[in-house]
A and B are shown apart, each in its own frame.
Chain A
């Protein structure tokens, strides 16, 4: 192993500290007795209790959950199709346009996307009467539009590293292209699709700007609620919420990493066994 540069190591340490200190401070102070979030006054769960009794918060959370799930499913369907098209369909009329439309949302400032989508919904409502008013429908449509871009990237890059001879073998054995996709390709790229779903879910769950533009009365999502609260200053129940989310994400990521490691170990063992049998 090479001599690791002192500089690199320090930067690594600093970088990770930079990333985690704010998160950790939020978590620590969620257990603070005092309302003054930054002065420690003793350990307490009271902000968590308050959080769970806050009907407004819970409703907003439920709405966000609903929208995020719908969005993730829609984004995965559309994103997988466009990832497939871009990775497998070679050159076709409109390819540059499609490719452009699926990469631009990745970087487009949200204020622009939000404004443009709202104006579209207003114009549509004027022209054909749908969507009538802004609410869950418009928010979901907007979210699907920008999160499908992320799913496209994930699926497209998975498909480009996919062994095409598997698909050719299936066609050679008599399966038509559509069947090949559902029976061969899809099961194998399923992990990528699942991570695409989770990515789309997180993006929707967390979105503020676009949602603010396209939401209507009665459709207050969790980020909108959080934003209106923190504009006025720190609020310890927000810390409690943050801690819960950090906990869920950590358990999820660490859990899946450990699980994948175990799968890999089992797989390696199988390969070794086969080699040893040496037929």
Chain B
């Protein structure tokens, strides 16, 4: 998540056993005929969080979002928002608002009317409506576009109208369906930061659905990785990235090198894994919950591996290889190094020095090193 000193000092309510969740999803299942879209999921989301449901297409994240909004009724289970049971409550009576993927702006209404629509349904006085709409349009920086119609706006502007329209009702929960999907790269980055700022400013709890892991990593305070209708892992972005609990999660977020090996030493304070694929041993400086001699997988992130011409100091965490491919990306370079077992390892290095004379090049023999904290044992 985008951190600021303020957020760093924020308490992590999910680790506090006395905190009451704002949104509680309790054993929700949604079936369409025989197809199970959402399979017995439970979750606690706390006030002020930006919670991300991350997964590929067909994993059930959008269905779950629609259940929260009230457009789908769960086949079993219940949803509680601020302690209130939402079973049987239709979407127009829920304290929840949604920002649709296509924005769903009403084409025959101006920006102003679009944003005030929700407030009009509540029967609020016209002056009050005008005031709140004006306020919200200022926050999203669209005050000079109030009289325009949706087709007269650019994609980014339309998105801000959709956001304003949902937020002006001060919902308890804001649901966002692929909010950055339709924007181009530059705009996406810019909007990511803006979204986080607005959320902090207003203190609304967000639930975001996305398939883009970069989006999830930037926006979220916590992420739930979904696969086949179930939560595979729930945690903070760094938890998920650095401590994936399964091969699926490790592979899904960022790139990863996975090595199969056997646990040859299993102590409470360290483990040693021997891997034929790797052609060496991996030493990790903490214990893992697996039996000695078990077959495990170790995940090594590309940025945690260093390339050098010198061999390592100890017997572990170092192997030899030959550089086969180099991709220059501007800010970093990606190396594909071939090991003795013919396995390719992906290594990334930042280009800290411009044109170093002794840059490592193709077909060079190199040593790959990594730290004893770098490897992550994954048992699933």
Contact = CB atoms under 8 A, between A and B. Distances in A.
A–B contact (CB under 8 angstroms): yes
Given A171-B92, A173-B165, A165 B154 contact: no
Contacts of A173: 92, 97, 117-118, 121, 165-166, 169
Contacts of B106: 166, 169-170, 184
Contacts of B91: 168, 171-172
Contacts of B169: 173-174
Interface string A147-190: 00000000000000001011011111111100100001001100
B102 A273 contact: no
Interface residues of A, number: 25
Contacts, number: 75
Contacts of A277: 154
Contacts of B101: 165
A170 B92 CA distance: 8
A55 B169 CA distance: 64
Please classify how large the interface on chain B is, using the bins under 10, 10 to 19, 20 to 34, 35 or more: 20 to 34
Nearest to B100: A165
A275 B70 CA distance: 35
A49 B92 CA distance: 62
A101 to B, nearest CB: 29
Interface in B57-114: 69-71, 90-93, 96-98, 100-102, 104, 106-108
A170 B117 contact: yes
Given A173-B118, A174-B169, A274-B157, A168 B100 contact: yes
Given A187-B108, A188-B107, A172 B69 contact: yes
A50 interface: no
Contacts of A174: 92-93, 118, 121-122, 169
A163 B118 contact: no
A195 B117 CA distance: 29
A271 interface: yes
A278 interface: yes
Given A169-B100, A188-B107, A271 B121 contact: no
A88 interface: no
Contacts of A274: 151-154, 157
Nearest to B162: A169
B254 interface: no
B154 A169 contact: no
A176 B154 CA distance: 30
A188 B102 CA distance: 17
Interface string A254-279: 00000000000001001101110111
**Residue of A163, A170, A171, A277 contacting most chain B CB atoms (<10 Å):** A171
A270 B157 CA distance: 14
Contacts of A184: 106
A271 B102 contact: no
A274 B157 CA distance: 9
B98 A172 contact: yes
Contact of B151 (A166, A172, A176, A271): A271
B102 A275 contact: no
Contact of B104 (A165, A267, A271, A273): A165
